[in-house]
Amino acid sequence: MLECTEEVINPSEDDLELIAELAEAIRAYLKTQWVLRRSLPGAWQHWRLDDLDETSPLPAILSTSLCRESSLLGLEAFNEAGLEGWRTYAGAFLFDPDDDIPSDVWDTELTGAAERDKDRVAHTWLVNSELGIRLDLMVDQFGLIEGPLVEPVHYEGRYIGNGHSPNIDWMDDPAIECAVKQWAYDPKFDALVERLKEIIMRPAAPVPG
């Protein structure tokens, strides 16, 4: 579904490949933070049996339910590297009846009751309307592809956008803001930003012929 623009922009293959490489670098960094989710406040207590229990299992796919924080961290990394035009989008990810969706996606309250009658789940991703590109850093949590996913915004498929996410209530959640700050203050975040700059500034390969 086309998001917040009536103009159909077909991103170039070069842009898609560049964003895919940048996304891999960001995901590699995020993986080092996802494993620390027990240290995050509020929103992630449902992965623990109670506030003092450190033995409650993490989700099988570590990116599960971290799309908001991870998208905001990706946005922060892009901004620090000088990449403009990116925004977070909130909406839903659609499922097909035959999809084998991990139970963690449904059972966020650890009740053991997976609500498999649903055909979608709330989700957040990044969009660059000028480039016409959608970037989903956490699509792997749905068990369909490993991710990250980089594709043209105008592709009809599994994404239903509600718009630029500062208009969404969860942006006021202090736990989300705290998590993003915690991840961005890690010294390795500065190394990530420098890596993104290196990728951006790397000379283009010569065209054969």
Each residue's pLDDT tens digit, 92-128:
888 887 778 777 776 555 454 455 557 788 889 999 9
The DSSP 8-state label assigned to residue 6 in this structure reads S
Looking at residue 17, the DSSP 8-state letter turns out to be H
Q: Are 20 and 14 in contact (CB under 8 A)?
A: no
| Beta-strand relationship, 120-128 and 159-164 | unpaired
Confidence of residue 134 (pLDDT cuts 50, 70, 90): very high
Q: Which residues contact 24 (CB under 8 A, 6 or more apart)?
A: 148
CA distance 160 to 35: 29
β partners of residue 136:
149
Report the alpha-carbon angle 107-24-160, nearest 5. Answer: 50
Q: Give the Å distances, CA to CA, from 200 to 14, 83, 192, 193, 197.
A: 12, 9, 12, 11, 5
Query: Would the pTM count as exceeding 0.85?
Result: no
Give the least confident one: 5-9, 62-66, 177-181, 184-188: 5-9
H-helix segments, the chain: 13-34, 67-80, 103-106, 174-184, 187-201
pLDDT digits (tens, 9 = 90+) for 141-200: 888 888 899 999 988 788 987 655 555 555 567 778 888 888 899 899 999 999 999 999
Sign of CA dihedral 1, 173, 112, 57: positive
Q: 149: closest CA among 85, 203, 93, 108?
A: 93
Q: How confident is the model at residue 27 (pLDDT cuts 50, 70, 90)?
A: very high
Distance of CA 100 to the CA centre of its chain: 20
- State phi, psi for 61 to the nearest 5 degrees: -110, 115
